[in-house]
Amino acid sequence: MGKLDGRVAIVTGAAIGIGEGIASSLAKHGAKVVLSDRNKEVFETTRRLERKGYNVVGKLMDVTNFDQVTSVSKEIVHDFCRIDILVNNAGIGTVGLIERLTEEDITKTLEVNVKGVINCTRAVIQNMKANLYGKIINISSVTGVLVSDPGFSVYGASKGAIMGFSKSLAVEVGKYGITVNAILPGVIDTPMFNQGIKTSFSKPPLDVVKSLDKGIPLNRIGTTDEIGEVVSFLASEESRYITGTSITVDGGSTLSECAGLLLEGGLAGLGKN
């Protein structure tokens, strides 16, 4: 018996990265999972998960296209009768100093990272309300909510917006048995992360990862299945009294007040061990 047996889930941006990890974890725990993405690589990912014996279906869906999102949601309800779990994961990582970002960069980031979440939620909410059951899990970030770095102002704004949306929606739909929560991932090893370190640093990517690892109390960056397992918890009955909040999954990377000093050799007087 899996904790998600009989549940129907849709994951956005599931072709690669965290979305694939989430889809895999939900399916492992027994859910029927619709992997959706704007990229047709989603079908190859779906086949890979099918080969593991998971109950999965792939759909092409761009979260910024409300008509497409509505029609995919209708197909899922037609084929599987219901949608129990929505994971709003699709996102893009725009990095750049505020004066250098183009109008297009800004609009695209907000369209995918904020409007995309709203579109998918609008498309499934009637079905969840009718069933008096639903689990909505939004993938935000530690960036913009707990910490940030130069170049992340617009991305951070988009991820902060997800928190406001999750809390406000949780208040609105709680009486229908629907919970809404967010996950704040720290640094997770995905194509988005790897692209980011290639474009933002002149050092070889492996050296950047080693430096990052040193600043994380658990001494390593995270994996996509580590996000997937927390999503599965929020999608299950184990979390039934949790709504309108967030879980940080960052290996402790946002904890240190003196990370810079520690990286330079430690605080005076603490000694070595």
Catalytically active residues, by annotation:
155
| Smallest gap from residue 75 Cβ to ligand NAD (A) | 16
Q: Which two tokens stand for residue 214?
A: 């040193």
| Smallest gap from residue 266 Cβ to ligand NAD (A) | 27
Say how far apart CA 273 and CA 271 lie, in whole Å.
Answer: 7
Residue 58, interface with ligand NAD (CB under 6 A)?
Answer: no
CB 42 within 8 A of CB 15: yes
Q: Which of 8, 17, 46, 251 binds ligand NAD (CB under 6 A)?
A: 17
Footprint (CB under 6 A) of ligand NAD, residues 183-212: 185, 187-188, 190-193
Say how far apart CA 28 and CA 30 lie, in whole Å.
Answer: 5
Footprint (CB under 6 A) of ligand NAD, residues 71-110: 89-93
| Smallest gap from residue 53 Cβ to ligand NAD (A) | 23
Q: Which two tokens stand for residue 234?
A: 């929020």
Say how far apart CA 116 and CA 76 lie, in whole Å.
Answer: 18
Q: Which of 90, 114, 88, 71 is nearest to 231 (CA)?
A: 88
| Smallest gap from residue 271 Cβ to ligand NAD (A) | 34
In 95-112, which positions are buried (b, 16+ CB within 10 angstroms) versus exposed (e)?
bbeeeebeeebbeebbbb
Residue in this structure with the two tokens 């309108």, named with its chain if needed: 244
Query: Order of strands across the sheet with 178-185?
Result: 56-60, 32-37, 8-11, 85-88, 134-139, 178-185, 246-249
Residue 12, interface with ligand NAD (CB under 6 A)?
Answer: yes
Residue 28, interface with ligand NAD (CB under 6 A)?
Answer: no
CB of 30 or CB of 183, closer to ligand NAD:
183
Residue 179: phi and psi, rounded to 5, are -105, 150
Q: Which of 27, 62, 145, 156 binds ligand NAD (CB under 6 A)?
A: 62
| Smallest gap from residue 146 Cβ to ligand NAD (A) | 11
Q: Which of 29, 38, 59, 135 binds ligand NAD (CB under 6 A)?
A: 38
Residue 18, interface with ligand NAD (CB under 6 A)?
Answer: yes
Q: How many residues bind ligand NAD (CB under 6 A)?
A: 29
Residue 16, interface with ligand NAD (CB under 6 A)?
Answer: yes
Residues that bind ligand NAD (CB under 6 A): 12-13, 15-19, 37-39, 62-64, 89-93, 112, 116, 139, 141, 185, 187-188, 190-193
